[in-house]
Each structure stands twice: as structure tokens, then as C-alpha cells.
A and B are shown apart, each in its own frame.
Chain A
Amino acid sequence: MLQLFTIRRVKKATHQTVRLLIMVAITFFGLLFITFLIGRVVPIDPVLAVVGDKASPEVYQQARLAMGLDLPVWRQFFIYMGSVLHGDLGTSVLTAKPVLQDILRVFPATLELAVIATCIGIFVGIPLGVFSAVKRGSFLDHITRVIGLLGYSLPIFWLGLLALIVFYAKLDLLPGPGRIDVFYEDIVDPVTGIMLIDCIIAREWDIFWNALAHIIMPATLLGYYSMAYLSRMTRSFMIEQLRQEYILTARVKGVAEWRVIWGHALGNCAIPLITVVALSFGTLLEGSVLTETVFAWPGLGLYLTKSLLNADMNSVLGSTIVVGTIFLGVNLFSDFLYKVLDPRAR
């Protein structure tokens, strides 16, 4: 009987996983289709971008054939899909290197920012949300509300500029734009690409402190937005949980109040919170485009903006695919955790 039950469960789990994977595959396919379409409607002639406008008609025609632009559109799409799946995102016009190589070089800088920002969001935002849900209408609750409202209303690039004016230009407390001071550049070996870890590996403590000082402002800025979102969501999840009857039962049984709140109620919020954290991580990738531009942070966002301003379509679409894929991956991962953690979803 028990065995039969287990088999059924395994079957159900496989079925669900297959279904999920098919959904992800379709979404990924759609993502490629959109980027392909965007590449098609570009008013810039892709052949001219390669051969230059002084090329003879023969050269032009040859390049056109070499790029496969004479084929029917659907075949072009399949060729495009095949090359993307092989990791070939084309060559950047700006850096003359393969786009994927460029992206792998700049991505760790963005990852570093996004991870620190997410940590700020989780470790400050969630407790803040819990406190304001427990003491609704208190002073702290109002502060959480204001933090949330400001987070939804302040332009991130503007807040970044104001922070630069105050902490860099006026008070001179923190270093200005960039990932590291100019005279420290290229000293540390990029083993992981994540500056702080590389410095620890190389035991370059001066550079480590310099890099840490540089990351404080952009990471706090992004972290603020993550915190604003997470505290608001945590608050509403917690209010929902604290209304439930099992909370009353626990209290009547004499469970300590802190355990009721941080154990019982927050424990039950953990599952929806995972989805929210995953979503906010995706939003951070988006916020990093503007933040990196403000702080001259050499990550994926800055790479994307530079490519945009130079009409370097391969890099733009490559970055879009990479960000979309990461977003998809993070969502898939949160779905997976959801299944593992929530007994009802198994």
C-alpha cells in the first residue's frame, strides 16, 4: 500500500516536472522569437553595419548571402535559434569579440551588486515587514509604509545621483563612480570576476577595502528598492497568517509569542516569500541598468546601455536573451523550491 503510494507520488512528481520543463521551453522559444523579431524590424541594415557604406554591390551581396539574409524568414529563425542554443550570440560590433564572451566578462560585476542588494532586502526588509505586521498602525509600521511608497516612487537613477552628491561630492565619505580606484585597476587577477572574492583570494586587503567602499553606495541603493518591495509583501503575508486560527491555537497552548510570530507565522510565509524574492532578484537586474549607468559600474547593465547607444544590435539582443534566461531560471528555481517546501504542492 505504502509502496503504491510512493510510486504514485513519484509519477506525479515526474509528470509535474515534465510539464514545467515544457512550459519553460515554450517560454524560452518565445523569448528567442521576440529577440529575433526585434532584430528583423531594426531600421539599421545589418549588412551595411558589417561591410560599411562604401562597399561595392558585389561585396554587399556576398555579405548578405554569408549572413543568410536571402533565406526565407522561418529558416533564418531556425538558424538563429540553433546558434543561440550553441551559445553563439553573434559578434559585438563595438568590441569585435563574441557577445557571449563579453557578457561573461561583465556579468560577475552585476551579480555581485544584485546578490548584496538581495541580502539587504532579505535581512532588513523581511524583519521590517514582520514587525510592522505584528504592530499594525505603530510608528514602525508607518515607517515601513513610507519606505515602501518612496521605493515605488523615487527614480532610482535620481536617488543614485543625489547619493553621489551627498556622500561623494559634499561629505567625501565614500568613493565616487567605478568599481575600484583607477590606480588599483588590473592588479587583482579576475579568478571569479567578483571583485571582493578575488581580492580575498589574492590577499590584497587594501584593494579589498577600496572595492568594498566602492560597492556600498550602488549596492545599498539597489538594496533599498529590494527592501521596499520585500517589506511590503512580507507585511501583507504576515497579516494574512496572523489572522489564521492555528495562531490562536498556538497562543492558547502557551507557545511563546516570539515563536508564534517568527516560527509559526513567518514559517508559513516562507513559501510565498521565496517567489517574491525571486521576482525581486529579476527586478534588480533591471534596476542595475540604471544604477550601473549612474555609478559607471562595469556590469551587464552598463554594457547593455553602451551597446544601445552605439546601435550594436548583437550585443543588445544577446544581453536581452541572457537577462531573460536568468529571469526564467530564477523563476524555475523558485517554483522548484516551492514544490520541495510546500507539502500541499507535492
Chain B
Amino acid sequence: MSSTRRWQHWLLSDSPASPFQAAAGRTYLGLAEFLKNRLAVFGLLIIAALILIAFFAPYIAPCDPLVTNLVNRLQPLSAAHYFGTDEVGRDIFSRIVWGSRLTLYVIGLVAIIAAPVGIIIGTVSGYFGGLIDTILMRITDIFLAFPKLILALAFVAALGPGIENAVIAIAITSWPPYARIARGETITIRNGDFIKAIRLQGAGPIRIITGHIMPLCISSLIVRITLDMAGIILTAAGLGFLGLGAQPPSPEWGAMTSTGRAYIIDHWWLITMPGTAIFVVSLAFNLLGDGLREVLDPKSDN
């Protein structure tokens, strides 16, 4: 009891002795704030479960997601097939479990591609200003002027259907908001005294941007990216549904819904199960994003 107190005292000290103590204290307060938001914690738990399921897919899934068994086709839910079987007798539960890997693959890759592009364009644009800013922001506006899905569709049309191309198309359409956010943050930071001090010490623009501006843009970007994850999942599933994302027989949830369409009248589980999976995961990201926004970005309140 008293040791817990002491830790708390150390964390909440108003005169921290080291940068580490200050950072630990901030994290503690943020975490406490976050844990109070039960819905956000619920979202986080679902995402953690998704990651675990994806990681342990071979051990969780009772059947091979790709092996067909025409004798067992279109079986309703049962103890042998928790979510039933599809039109060629594959176990839907196993396919959904394996499909979680594809979902994580898509959102992970999109975030890895789009976030750095957005942050680089945004910080460079905000730091240098002037002509560079005008040109980069015009380009950003051009991408923002398109509805996202339509632009992604056009890119997929050019690159050809497939999950990698869907990722590229979604990433190309996702970076502009990140650039906008990073630029906004950079403009408020760039004239700060600490930036001037670093410049006097002889730091060049690259060091200032990568070492001192980018880290300060991260927290608002994380909020935005988490909130975008739901949209990315929905777009990827939409592309899969239209037959332009992951191709059959791969167990992508959107593509599974699409093949289930032909059987909706009598075999409802073919579309219901993968659709629910998409819904639950995007809901989780929305809940988590809302929670993170309240902790990391308390200014915006809605």
C-alpha cells in the first residue's frame, strides 16, 4: 500500500528530477484518463484480441481456410462448424480467423506508407512556407478534392485487382489529411523559442524537422490515424466486395461477403459472419480513436 503511494507520489511530483520522471508522470496521467473511458478500453481489448487471433490463427482455426469439401457445402451453424460452411464447404469460422491477418496486413501497410508521406510533406511544407508550401498544399488539395473511394477505384483499375494494389491505392488516397495536420502543428511550433535556440546551436532544417518538429506532431497524428483505421478497413472491405481487392479464394472479409451474396435468401450466415467481423473491428478502432482523442487532443471536444 505504502509503496503504491510512493510510486504515485513519484509519478505525480510537480518538480520531476529527470526528463524520464516527467515523461512517466505524463504517461501515468494519460493512462489514468484513458482507462476511465470504458468504451475506449473495450475497443483496445477487441484490437488486442484481433492481433492475438491473427498471430495464433493456425492454432485457433479448426480447419484449413482454403480446403474445399463439397459434401459439406452450405452447412448451417453447428458444433463442428461454429459459423457454418460456405458454398464450397469451407469452414467460415476458420476463414474469418485467417482473414484477420489480411485485415491487419492492410491497415498496417497503409499506416506505414501513408503516415510518413503525410508527415514529411506536412512538416516540410509548414517549416519552409512560401512557394514550397503553396505547391505542396495545392497537391494535397487536389488529392482531397476527390472522394477517396473513387480515387482508390481508379488506381486499382490501373494497377489491377489484388490486395497489394488495394493497399497502394488506399495509401495514395489516405495521406493528405495527415499532411494537413502535420503542417498545422508545424506552423504553430516553428517560431517557438526552442526552435530558435536549436537553430542558433547550428542545427540544419533536416535535423530540426526530423528531431524536433516531427515528434511533436506524432500525438495528433496517432489520433487521426486510429480514427482513420475504421475507414481504411471499410474501404478495403468495399474494394474486396467489388471484386477489386483481395481475390478469391483468399479469406478476405469483404470478398467473402461478396461471394455470399448469391446465397443470401436461404443461407444468411455466408454474409452475416464476415460482415459482423468487419463491423466489430472498425467499431473497435472508432471507440479507441475517440478515447485517444480525449486523452491526447483535449481541445477538440465532440
Binding site for B on A (CB under 8 A): 23, 26-27, 30-31, 34-35, 38-39, 41-43, 149-150, 152-158, 161-162, 164-165, 169, 232, 235-236, 239, 282-283, 285-286, 289-290, 293-294, 304-305, 308-309, 311, 313, 316-317, 319-320, 323-324, 327-328, 331
Contact = CB atoms under 8 A, between A and B. Distances in A.
A283 B242 contact: no
B164 to A, nearest CB: 14
Given A41-B158, A304-B153, A283 B147 contact: yes
B286 A289 contact: no
Contacts of B155: 38
Interface string B32-61: 000000000000000000000000000000
Given A155-B279, A232-B302, A305-B242, A313 B157 contact: yes
Given A30-B138, A308-B242, A327-B145, A153 B157 contact: no
Given A31-B146, A155-B234, A155-B238, A162 B272 contact: yes
A313 B160 CA distance: 11
B151 interface: yes
Nearest to A159: B275
A158 B271 contact: yes
Contacts of B230: 152-153
Given A34-B151, A156-B238, A157-B237, 11 more contacts: A27-B145, A30-B139, A41-B158, A41-B159, A153-B230, A161-B257, A162-B275, A235-B302, A309-B242, A320-B154, A323-B147
Contacts of A30: 138-139, 141-142, 145
A283 B243 CA distance: 21
Q: Is the interface of A mostly helix, strand, loop or mixed?
A: helix
B264 interface: yes
User: Chain B: interface residue count, which band?
Assistant: 35 or more
Contacts of A26: 138, 142
A107 to B, nearest CB: 14
30 contacts: A27-B142, A31-B142, A34-B142, A39-B158, A150-B283, A152-B231, A155-B234, A155-B254, A155-B257, A155-B279, A156-B234, A156-B238, A157-B237, A157-B241, A158-B271, A162-B271, A169-B264, A169-B265, A289-B153, A290-B149, A293-B242, A305-B242, A308-B153, A308-B157, A308-B242, A313-B157, A319-B150, A320-B151, A328-B145, A331-B145
B157 A290 contact: no
Interface centre among B142, B154, B231, B234 (most CB of A within 10 A): B154
Interface string B223-257: 00000001100100110011110000000001001
A153 B238 contact: no
Contact of A239 (B139, B154, B265, B301): B301
B240 to A, nearest CB: 10
A92 to B, nearest CB: 14
A316 B154 contact: yes
A317 B154 contact: yes
B302 A324 contact: no
Contacts of B156: 308
A158 B279 contact: yes
Contacts of B151: 34, 320, 324
A289 B149 contact: yes
B278 to A, nearest CB: 5
Contacts of B149: 286, 289-290
A42 B155 CA distance: 9
Contact of B242 (A31, A150, A290, A311): A290
A65 to B, nearest CB: 24
A161 B145 contact: no
Given A41-B158, A236-B302, A153 B283 contact: yes
B9 interface: no
Interface centre among A38, A39, A150 (most CB of B within 10 A): A38
Nearest to B149: A286
